[in-house]
């Protein structure tokens, strides 16, 4: 998992230049829309650019979703029709943006990060999502196809709650709320990994667990870079002096702000726990090394006097009286045994064993 992705952006390009920087394309750009009002809805999962452009003349609330940003010609045509600033399109296709909010009076541009846990690679994945909030429309731009906004679509289709009775600002709220809820799903999964890792560390530490700690710390960096700026985005969206944000929607935005604070607290707690786990790993490895060194030191200490005795009687002088004793050899082994056992008893008495 790359935390800092390389931005293959040519140096010296003028502001507003449309130059795609992001994930490799997986297929053609796909457009879909969902238009609705209190009476009903209209949906198209594979729409053409013309179908999306025709929605501007309707009085209904509509949501256009764009999957894939590599075909800049399609994006330019769409953004020109809705009179978006060239710098907005530049930020949309340059997908290394920090989560932010920009008020252009006629519309509001929002950048957020979509986070998910890749089950195949067993790692955290992230992509940029750009949201354009207008008077009666919301346009979303995603790097890759697929999202987790089906609950939002289902609420609109079935007319549950306030989904079809409020404006486009409430639709933007539902999308951001779903993104924040997904953060908690990711945090719960990471929390389970941290608990499992902690249990295994307490049993026995090994180098593979150190790699897991480093991977989780990198994921925390990605989470922190996504959640902390989002707090500013939601707070600014709640306080922005724009007619696009109704008073009734600001209350719901305040609720998202509270959830964002909770996510930030969870991220910071996990970072502290991972730092503690790294210290626990190093302490466990150090204690294991100390135990090994302790055993080796005791063995060496026991053999010091035995080596001395063996060296004395290995000098082979002719007039060493013990060399000609009948019981000299067994007696020497007895001395060896007494010395070794005595030293072990001394170590136990000193509580070194």
Average per-residue pLDDT for the chain? 84
Query: Following DSSP, what letter does each residue of 246-305 receive, concatenated?
Result: -HHHHHHHHHHHHHHHHHHHHHHHHHHHHHHHHHHHHHHHHHHHHHHHHHHHHHHHHHHH
Q: May I ask the CATH class of domain 30-283?
A: alpha beta
Confidence of residue 9 (pLDDT cuts 50, 70, 90): low
Q: Would you put residue 241 in left (φ > 0), alpha (ψ -120 to 50) or beta?
A: beta
| Tens-place pLDDT, residues 175-203 | 999 999 999 998 998 888 888 888 888 88
Please report the pLDDT score of residue 326 as a whole number: 75
**How many whole angstroms separate alpha carbon 229 and alpha carbon 111?**
10
Contacts of 305 (CB under 8 A, 6+ apart): 339, 343
CB 63 within 8 A of CB 137: yes
| Tens-place pLDDT, residues 224-235 | 888 899 999 999
Burial of 253 (0-12, 13-18, 19+ CB in 10 A): buried
Q: Where in the chain is the domain with CATH 3.30.460.20?
A: 30-283
Confidence of residue 121 (pLDDT cuts 50, 70, 90): low
**How many whole angstroms separate alpha carbon 33 and alpha carbon 65?**
6
Element (H or E) spanning 153, and its range?
helix 150-158
Out of 98-112, 207-221, 247-261, 324-338, which region has the weakest mean confidence (pLDDT)?
324-338
Out of 52-61, 67-76, 119-128, 237-246, which region has the weakest mean confidence (pLDDT)?
119-128
Instruction: Compute the residue count for the chain.
Output: 353
Of 146, 166, 142, 144, the residue nearest 156 (C-alpha): 166
* Backbone φ, ψ for residue 233 (5° rounding): -65, -50
| DSSP state at residue 138 | E
């Amino acid at each position: 998992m790359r935390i800092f992705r390389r931005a293959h952006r040519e140096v010296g390009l003028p502001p507003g230049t449309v130059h795609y920087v992001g994930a490799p394309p997986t297929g053609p750009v796909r457009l879909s829309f969902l238009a609705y009002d209190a009476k009903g809805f209209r949906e198209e999962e594979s729409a053409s650019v013309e179908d999306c452009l025709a929605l501007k003349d309707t009085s209904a609330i509509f949501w256009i979703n764009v999957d894939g940003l590599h075909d800049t010609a399609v994006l330019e045509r769409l953004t020109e029709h809705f009179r978006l600033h060239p710098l907005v399109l530049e930020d949309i296709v340059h997908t290394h943006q920090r989560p932010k909010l920009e008020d252009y009076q006629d519309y509001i541009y929002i950048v957020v990060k979509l986070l998910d846990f890749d089950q195949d690679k067993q790692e955290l994945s992230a992509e940029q999502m750009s949201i354009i909030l207008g008077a009666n429309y919301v346009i979303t731009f995603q790097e890759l196809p697929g999202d987790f906004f089906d609950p939002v679509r289902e609420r609109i289709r079935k007319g549950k709650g306030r989904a079809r009775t409020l404006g486009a600002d409430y639709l933007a709220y539902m999308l951001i709320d779903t993104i924040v809820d997904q953060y908690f799903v990711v945090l719960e999964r990471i929390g389970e990994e941290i608990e499992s890792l902690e249990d295994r560390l307490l049993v026995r530490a090994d180098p593979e667990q150190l790699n897991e700690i480093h991977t989780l710390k990198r994921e925390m960096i990605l989470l922190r870079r996504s959640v902390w700026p989002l707090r500013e985005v939601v707070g600014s969206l709640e306080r922005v002096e724009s007619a696009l944000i109704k008073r009734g929607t600001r209350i719901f935005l305040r609720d998202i702000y509270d959830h964002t604070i909770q996510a930030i607290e969870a991220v910071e707690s996990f970072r502290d726990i991972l730092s503690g786990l790294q210290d626990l790993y190093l302490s466990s490895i150090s204690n294991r090394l100390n135990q090994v060194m302790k055993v080796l030191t005791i063995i060496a200490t026991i053999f010091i006097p035995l080596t001395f005795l063996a060296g004395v009687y290995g000098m082979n002088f002719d007039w060493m009286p013990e060399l000609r004793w009948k019981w000299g050899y067994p007696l020497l082994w007895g001395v060896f045994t007494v010395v070794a056992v005595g030293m072990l008893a001394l170590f136990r008495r000193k509580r070194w064993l």
